Structure 1
Amino acid sequence: MVLVYMEANNDLRYEALTSINRMEKGAKDIDGILLVYIKTSSVRSYLLKIKYDPDENRITSDTVKTYQSSATSDPEFLKDVVSNAQKEYPAETYGLVLWSHATSWAPPSSAIVKTKSFGRDNGEEMDIIDLKNALPNNLEFLIFDACSMGGVEVLYEFKDKANYIIASPAETIAESFPYQYITPFLFKGSDQLKDVAQAYYDYYNSYTDDRQSATVSLIKTSQLPQLASEMKSLMIRTKVYGDQFTTTNIQRLDFTLGFPVANYDYGDFLDHNWQQQELRSIYSQLKKVILYQAATPNFLGKPIKAFSGITCYIPYYNDINLTYYKRLQWYTASGFNILFEK
């Protein structure tokens, strides 16, 4: 059973309805249940059971539940929706797609940042740690159909929630994943998840205008702890309290003006801050973490010259985000704390 949780009580209403129509188009002969929780207004929201319909101009799926005045950005509400869906439609495996706005791991509030990490329901958004705590631990895969959730901090935070994660290290175009193509792959086992990621890339790469903008990666979460261990070993060998990283000329993968936190390509970050001979083991592990990665040559007209498959943040002294960043599991597991704690 796959559940798509769509927070669209915002400027993505039209795109959400289009995505549902495309799911219906792609749902022919799927081996399982596809559910969509959808909210496009403050009055009520719905749980749909998707059924095949090739007409992209109408939604014909069955409404199996109606929610009154629900708060989709309340983590307890999300938890209830996911739990009830699994209870009502038990299956051998479960997948979850989180569909909405997102801003990586950006903290809930600060003197500068006025945003949160996932979703947007009538202006209210959800903290990434609260989101993680709301999810069950039994997911075969988790797909972020949302901007900039392919950062190592985000992936590490959700590593115990799903065996595999598909996410975009950069922003995602509002047109969303091409569900008319990927829906069948969601029900064919973990081996087909590469096809989901590749279909996303191929869809956007086929454009010839600025919509030729996509980054995507498939992550094997069981390999993330060893990546953190390799990173920590590198930090212990080469860094001491008070050292600072360079950020000069490192590929940025946040392309939206005013994006709340900087997303640097992880591999480019490593290359600019260490010698290549120091990076062999961590790059070897990175290949085990990332099962598929792809990026278009440009994103919204800006070149992507370096792409390793995931991004990272580079914290610094007097960083307004550092207090929150320290709450993320990656901060300590990867040894970043060595720079800021005696």
Structure 2
Amino acid sequence: MIRTILLFLAALPLVSCIGEDAGDSAPEGPARTVLVWLGGDNDLTGEVAQKIEALRRGWRPTGGACLIYADSRRDGARLLRLRGGCAAAPEPYVETVAEYGPENSASAEVFGRVLRDVTAAYPADGYGLVFFSHGSGWLPAGTLRNAAGEAGSASASPASRSLGRDDSVPEGGSAEMELADFAGAIPDGALDFILFESCFSAGVEVAYALRHKARYLLVSSAEMLSPGFAPVYPTALPLLFDASRPTADALAAFGRAYMDYINTLDGAFRSATLSLVDTSYMDVLAARIRELLGNSSHRADISIGLQHFDRPGSYGDIPAVPRFFDFGQWAGRIAGDEVNAVFGEQMKRTVIWEESTERFLPSQNGFEIRCHSGLTVYVEQPELVKLNEYYRRTAWYGAVWGGN
């Protein structure tokens, strides 16, 4: 209660800057507050300051607020707020709202606490979340191991683990947050969108688990190369706060800005996948897939030749086999031509926008991108007995196969 009151009091000066000092520079109409989660208490810690600076440069006065939860090895966990950009303070700046000290930023309890505090202290017409950390979508914690990479290099985030990772938990341990815990920390209907600045977030399993939490997801089928969205935050950040236009249009514009930037790069740096998913269609999509599976003979070799978006063997993963396959291509294999046309229309409603480069890290155990539907799916394989068992406990599996 005390923490929430203090956060609310810290939010009060924002009204002065927007209402009295900003004048006509502050847009009228609905307002959105966005929480940017920078889970960098791990080998991504060097990117935290870089992203904060990029966000600061992109800040413009709005009726809402931009809060940044930043956790790094050097500074511990802090809650920051972007300010300025108005007549009283023309240059945007970063203000510290709270110092949390060392804490586990990959804890669903910590994530849920901060989300509750922000929504209580910074009321708005809508809320968004930007989530940056390691990621491996629906996979259980520890499924993929370390993959070497450095900030600013043409390589993916150094490790791909569940959703988030914190390396400073007691006794030198490492904590990770699994998808079910992440979803459980978000109240139903709380968010307009979640923008994942993390790897392998486009799983149909992820979208289904979050279908009641956020209407839209901006996600990546493959890994996300460092430095992620930092190069486009200075120009594209205002799109995330523009609650006066359709949310899907604003997110698609943000996604296109990122892909436009990627397409200016050369070689391995020109590697990216991005898509915008409308989660309100996930129940319909699951029902459609369940119907297709019931009317088809599911072949054991169905994954052979499917487009995949991971780089088997690059993460210390054993056995080195793909785990993230193109959902649209997989669905096409289990459907006949006539049925597939109907399913294609459903996919267009679910995946509003998608774009990818022609290849992904071709010189680093990468792959050609022959098709990209905007969603991925796991396909059970005989080499992955334990992962198959875990998969059968996911909400998506229960929805399409009718339970365990």
Question: What's the TM-score, normalizing by structure 1?
Answer: 0.90
**Aligned in 2, Cα 1:74/1:102: closer, same or farther, shift over 3 Å?**
same
Report the Cα distance in structure 1 between the residues aligned to 2:176 and 2:62, rounded to whole angstroms. Answer: 33
Aligned to 1:151: 203
The DSSP-based 3-state class of the residue aligned with 2:218 is strand
**Aligned in 2, Cα 1:264/1:52: closer, same or farther, shift over 3 Å?**
farther
**Aligned in 2, Cα 1:245/1:282: closer, same or farther, shift over 3 Å?**
farther
Q: Which moved more, 1:178-187 or 1:164-173?
A: 178-187
Percent of residue pairs identical:
29
Alpha carbons 1:7, 1:99 under 8 Å: kept: yes
**Aligned in 2, Cα 1:60/1:135: closer, same or farther, shift over 3 Å?**
same
Shift of 1:75: 0.7
1:322 aligns with 2:388: yes
**Aligned in 2, Cα 1:183/1:226: closer, same or farther, shift over 3 Å?**
same
**Aligned in 2, Cα 1:173/1:109: closer, same or farther, shift over 3 Å?**
closer
Q: Could you tell me which of 329, 332, 336 is aligned with 2:398? A: 332
The DSSP-based 3-state class of the residue aligned with 1:307 is coil
Aligned to 2:264: 206
Alpha carbons 1:105, 1:116 under 8 Å: kept: no
Report the Cα distance in structure 2 between the residues aligned to 1:215 and 1:88, rounded to whole angstroms. Answer: 35
**Aligned in 2, Cα 1:23/1:203: closer, same or farther, shift over 3 Å?**
same
1:163 aligns with 2:215: yes
Shift of 1:66: 0.5
Residues 19-73 of structure 1: CA distance to partner in whole angstroms, max 9, x if unpaired?
11111111123442111000112763110001357xxxx9940000010221111
Report the Cα distance in structure 2 between the residues aligned to 1:43 and 1:99, rounded to whole angstroms. Answer: 17
Uncovered stretches (5+) of structure 1, i.e. residues with no partner: none
Uncovered stretches (5+) of structure 2, i.e. residues with no partner: 1-32, 86-90, 147-159, 168-173
Report the Cα distance in structure 2 between the residues aligned to 1:65 and 1:226, rounded to whole angstroms. Answer: 42
The DSSP-based 3-state class of the residue aligned with 2:137 is coil
Q: Could you tell me which of 298, 307, 321 is aligned with 1:251? A: 307
The 5 A counterparts of 1:2-17 are 2-17=34-49
Aligned to 1:181: 235
Shift of 1:316: 3.6
Shift of 1:126: 0.9
Residues 210-240 of structure 1: CA distance to partner in whole angstroms, max 9, x if unpaired?
1111111111110111111110111111147
Q: Could you tell me which of 363, 370, 378 is aligned with 1:313? A: 378
The 5 A counterparts of 1:1-342 are 1-41=33-73, 44-51=76-83, 60-108=93-141, 116-122=161-167, 123-137=174-188, 138-177=190-229, 178-189=232-243, 190=247, 191-239=249-297, 243-255=299-311, 257-258=314-315, 262-301=323-362, 302-317=367-382, 319-335=385-401
Query: Higher Cα Rg: structure 1 or 2?
Result: 2
Q: Which has the bigger relative contact order, CA under 8 A and spacing at least 6? A: 1
Shift of 1:179: 1.3
Q: Which moved more, 1:142-151 or 1:22-31?
A: 22-31
**Aligned in 2, Cα 1:109/1:27: closer, same or farther, shift over 3 Å?**
closer
Alpha carbons 1:255, 1:300 under 8 Å: kept: no
**Aligned in 2, Cα 1:41/1:109: closer, same or farther, shift over 3 Å?**
closer
Report the Cα distance in structure 2 between the residues aligned to 1:271 and 1:172, rounded to whole angstroms. Answer: 26
Which residue identity lines up with residue 183 of structure 1 in the other structure? L
Report the Cα distance in structure 2 between the residues aligned to 1:314 and 1:113, rounded to whole angstroms. Answer: 20
Which residue identity lines up with residue 125 of structure 1 in the other structure? E
Alpha carbons 2:271, 2:361 under 8 Å: kept: yes
Shift of 1:86: 0.8
Report the Cα distance in structure 2 between the residues aligned to 1:187 and 1:113, rounded to whole angstroms. Answer: 36
Report the Cα distance in structure 2 between the residues aligned to 1:259 and 1:92, rounded to whole angstroms. Answer: 45
How many residues were matched structurally?
331
Shift of 1:208: 1.5
Q: Which moved more, 1:327-336 or 1:61-70?
A: 327-336
Q: Which moved more, 1:260-269 or 1:151-160?
A: 260-269
- Kindly report the root-mean-square deviation, in angstroms, between the aligned alpha carbons of the 2 structures: 2.3
The DSSP-based 3-state class of the residue aligned with 1:36 is strand
The DSSP-based 3-state class of the residue aligned with 1:50 is strand
Report the Cα distance in structure 1 between the residues aligned to 2:399 and 2:344, rounded to whole angstroms. Answer: 17
Which residue identity lines up with residue 166 of structure 2 in the other structure? D
